[in-house]
Amino acid sequence: MHGRPPIYVIQFCWRQLKVQLDANFLVDEIDEHFDFILKRYTVFTWMLCKHGLRHCVLSNVLTAPVAVWDDIIESEPFSVTYQHSGDSRWGVLCYFFGDVYASTPSPPLDRNSTNDGYELEQPN
């Protein structure tokens, strides 16, 4: 399923939180958190399609050239929305990704990568 689940799914989750964890949430709060997670998933999925994004399988860290990060920050309306209302740690993410590589068409190798000996499959 993609997108927003039907209200009965949200209500089922609300009941399970109440029964299993004795946690009290308003259905609107669960709905709001779902929107937040969906927004993060959308941005992350879009980022994975960008040329130059790299993943270190041992440390589970994503890195990207500056040009990719600039594109994420500036050119996509949903990422700008996400920046302003989605994640309180957006500035930290920018800091982590912003200076990883030089801003060139052919960025240098990631000398901090721990991918030695791993063959990463490239998406088609």
Domain-embedded: residue 63: yes
Structure tokens belonging to residue 22:
């004795």
Domain-embedded: residue 107: no
Domain-embedded: residue 114: no
Whole domain around residue 52: which residue ranges? Answer: 7-101
Kindly report the pTM of this predicted structure. Answer: 0.42
Task: Quick: pLDDT tens for 34-72.
Answer: 887 777 777 777 777 777 777 777 777 777 777 777 776
Number of domains in the chain: 1
Domain-embedded: residue 108: no
How far out from the chain centre does Cα 29 lie? Answer: 21
Domain-embedded: residue 29: yes
Cα–Cα nearest to 66, from 121, 108, 112: 108
Domain-embedded: residue 118: no
